[in-house]
Structure 1
């Protein structure tokens, strides 16, 4: 009898332990998802080692999750990059490389993230800039706040815009930066945070997928004065204007996006004073959106939603603030395609990893399948793959390569690949796939590289290996899909 009791206790202990282990490795129900989707943000954050950026709220989020040191966008321009995230398909699979073609103009049946989550009982919320085209995929959002235009608050800038319009200069934008002494909500990202907080209060009792699109630090660098006051303009260093030796003639652009703003010279380099003003504005804009992240996260905690919400912080692509004597994005260089990415599991998930960094090569195209698996859904076919194993073990050995693309008109395509230390790029004829020029840059210790090592016999082995990795994604016998709708003149 006594032996039978011991056997029963042993079995009970085993079953109880198994149940506890199962519980420990399971989330509390199906989690909510909150995505902070930031525009034009490079890895200029305190948690990424920035010596200048003041970002306490984003740094706190990194302490609560996994920070990815080597995350990459699929194209360094808004529309194709964002479509790639929302569909899990690369730009070359969609055939859209410009900002002028809405997704649904050419892809009626592609299943998107909001579409899938809505079909599975989630309330789907779009606030601010999520797609580049605000109307794109609109029917798949349960709640949709339109993307707002840029605004100026200083009377002299409002008067300037009125004057330019009266003179018929509609192509000239306002100043490239502004530091009005106003509340956060006077600019659109402050309003986006307000809408997010109000919406969370309304939908807190149901499952949700919420995208909060924060427009800064996209131009113009307009942010309340208190965020400018966090920095001393004179402490910013002027980046080297040196361009990489033997760079392909179309590898960098004339940064026309910035030149479209009032009082920006139409040719030549910027002087040091204007350069510092712009760098100052970029940093003020980052601290401004950091504050908005903090407000939304505080509400998530207050509503007791944090325990069952996965939080993703990400950017659509990187950015140049004077490096190589260039500005903005629109290229295949490392500083334009490497992006910040932080994923923080719900606090109710007992075995969640927090405060860790991963060097695994991951891509923005992986976000959709990752969220699908985290939420226990069945998703569509994707060019990416779930990085849940890396979230559970940040030291997990992962992919060998991450790839991006950038078109120069209809005839030239730049294809690029990194293994985390080397970046290899081929500029090809878009129709014949003929290689027009190759580039090889070392990035073991820096986002910047100033010598094209392609063709250097010392690096033949590295170049050959990188070439093979590139051709896995961009085979020479496969033409580039072209679905871009010509821009109306």
Structure 2
């Protein structure tokens, strides 16, 4: 080979090697398109509407009378769950369960605590605001989020408490009647004030990623709402439900009144008559429509600020409610009316996989909210009892849980219950020994009102055995006593 030819070849080899080095370097530094999208995508915000005492009586759930246009609109923009369940039908334990993703039997909290302590048994459990704030989120609590307890103050960036001197009910504060129709503006009552605060804070959050809880108290007692929401209904359109108790119901399965007898205008003993029953039902639904209007105001602000594009919205209730069924009122039971809740999840508009206007009949639980929003935000979840619902948001009809679980305590007796979405099976056990005292099996294939306890009847033997097996998975008979102090570290 001639010298000049050799030199030319050598230069070509050198240039080729240099080119390969450059290409390899570029390849090593190149970020996949998905990573680039994730890097430059605006962070997820989360807005949770936490509603008090709301059963699944809304227009979007097929109620023939209830007017809830703003909640209905949210359902049209997301996924509506028809079989969502609270883990205990009382505010305090239910809300702790929601905010930690842990069942009451894990937290060991079965009653409303008066000492304000969220973590009396588990000082190391991680709550929703705690996790999000640790990951750079502004965490905002407005109105009623917890009940009688609160998270550590350092876990909230902004915490507008439900103070008596601000979020009180000014209309009936002295006489404490169970209901009121005031010739007033929306912000005369506390949910209007909560909405005002939420709107004002949203206007300040354009540059921040946030987790915001907006806790509306209605339709909790007292049933106070501006007159215009009462005027949406004709009391004669409401029917008085049957006061009949289910046949063979356990003696401790039902509470009649809850806090209702504490209010003026309510008989101190005996049933409410038909006229008062209609008035209370009218009052309840007036407050539902009032609360719905406040949801609409906050959602409008979310749109107007441009935050809706990257904000996941969740609408949920802490538990259900009875409106005179069985001659009973309020919650405080394991019955379907008290444990079933509305749940709507609408993903951020920028999400490419978002579903809208769809319904899922999957069995889901309130403890699933924490892991769902944590996964959506890309956060590492602590160990919890719930599971993420994101797969259902992508595919609402996919196979899911076989059962949903709740409980309710009656002192030395604990009621543990399971539903498969059609039937509800409950065991009442000695809280110390787990010995079964009584069993109940109710048919809910047609509606949420139980007619008869058919536990032990031969024709339902196979069904009852199936539900017994499902109940055993969460509440084994060899489990420790329910009131035994528990220690949980879910980090």
CA distance in 1, matches of 2:329, 2:138: 38
Residue of structure 2 in register with 1:474 after alignment: 475
1:26–1:469 distance in 2 versus 1, CA, 3 Å = farther
Residue of structure 2 in register with 1:113 after alignment: 128
Structure 1 gaps of 5+ residues are 1-18, 162-173, 485-489
Q: Is the CA contact (8 Å cut-off) linking 2:80 and 2:345 kept in structure 1?
A: yes
Structure 1 segment 84-99 matched on structure 2, within 5 A? 84-99=97-112
1:26–1:459 distance in 2 versus 1, CA, 3 Å = farther
Q: Considering only CA atoms, is the larger Rg found in Structure 1 or Structure 2?
A: 2
CA distance in 1, matches of 2:106, 2:206: 36
Q: Is the CA contact (8 Å cut-off) linking 2:428 and 2:437 kept in structure 1?
A: yes
Q: 1:371 aligns with which of 370, 373, 379?
A: 373
Q: Is the CA contact (8 Å cut-off) linking 1:126 and 1:211 kept in structure 2?
A: yes
Q: C-alpha offsets along residues 101-126 of structure 1, whole Å, 9 cap, x if unaligned? A: 53133332110000000000000000
1:27–1:472 distance in 2 versus 1, CA, 3 Å = farther
Question: CA offset at residue 203 of structure 1?
Answer: 1.8
CA distance in 1, matches of 2:104, 2:308: 33
1:23–1:51 distance in 2 versus 1, CA, 3 Å = farther
Q: Is the CA contact (8 Å cut-off) linking 2:431 and 2:483 kept in structure 1?
A: no
CA distance in 1, matches of 2:119, 2:178: 32
Residue of structure 2 in register with 1:264 after alignment: 266
Residue of structure 2 in register with 1:65 after alignment: 78
Q: Is the CA contact (8 Å cut-off) linking 2:108 and 2:121 kept in structure 1?
A: no
Question: CA offset at residue 27 of structure 1?
Answer: 10
Q: Is the CA contact (8 Å cut-off) linking 1:221 and 1:281 kept in structure 2?
A: yes
Residue of structure 1 in register with 2:138 after alignment: 123
1:22–1:360 distance in 2 versus 1, CA, 3 Å = farther
1:429–1:27 distance in 2 versus 1, CA, 3 Å = farther
1:255–1:25 distance in 2 versus 1, CA, 3 Å = farther
Q: C-alpha offsets along residues 40-61 of structure 1, whole Å, 9 cap, x if unaligned? A: 0000110000111100000000
Q: Is the CA contact (8 Å cut-off) linking 2:49 and 2:315 kept in structure 1?
A: yes
Question: CA offset at residue 249 of structure 1?
Answer: 0.1
Q: 2:61 aligns with which of 44, 48, 67?
A: 48
Question: CA offset at residue 255 of structure 1?
Answer: 1.4
Q: C-alpha offsets along residues 433-476 of structure 1, whole Å, 9 cap, x if unaligned? A: 11110000011121112100101101000000000000100000
Select between 374-383 and 129-138 the one with higher mean Cα deviation: 129-138
Residue of structure 2 in register with 1:167 after alignment: none
Q: 2:330 aligns with which of 308, 328, 331?
A: 328
Residue of structure 1 in register with 2:413 after alignment: 412
Question: CA offset at residue 134 of structure 1?
Answer: 5.2
CA distance in 1, matches of 2:35, 2:396: 21
Q: Is the CA contact (8 Å cut-off) linking 2:169 and 2:190 kept in structure 1?
A: no
How many pairs align? 452
Q: TM-score, normalised by structure 2?
A: 0.89
Residue of structure 1 in register with 2:3 after alignment: none
1:139–1:477 distance in 2 versus 1, CA, 3 Å = same
Q: C-alpha offsets along residues 247-292 of structure 1, whole Å, 9 cap, x if unaligned? A: 0000001313101111211221100111111101100110011000
CA distance in 2, matches of 1:285, 1:152: 13
Q: Is the CA contact (8 Å cut-off) linking 1:28 and 1:349 kept in structure 2?
A: no
Q: Is the CA contact (8 Å cut-off) linking 2:80 and 2:343 kept in structure 1?
A: yes
Residue of structure 2 in register with 1:207 after alignment: 209
Residue of structure 2 in register with 1:35 after alignment: 48
Residue of structure 2 in register with 1:432 after alignment: 433
Q: Is the CA contact (8 Å cut-off) linking 2:431 and 2:482 kept in structure 1?
A: no
Match of 1:223, SS?
A: strand
Q: 1:137 aligns with which of 152, 157, 178?
A: 152
Structure 2 gaps of 5+ residues are 1-31, 486-491
1:20–1:135 distance in 2 versus 1, CA, 3 Å = closer
CA distance in 2, matches of 1:359, 1:126: 30
Question: CA offset at residue 483 of structure 1?
Answer: 6.5
CA distance in 2, matches of 1:230, 1:25: 46
Q: TM-score, normalised by structure 1?
A: 0.89
Residue of structure 2 in register with 1:444 after alignment: 445
Match of 1:118, SS?
A: helix
Q: Is the CA contact (8 Å cut-off) linking 1:28 and 1:308 kept in structure 2?
A: no
Q: Is the CA contact (8 Å cut-off) linking 2:258 and 2:332 kept in structure 1?
A: no
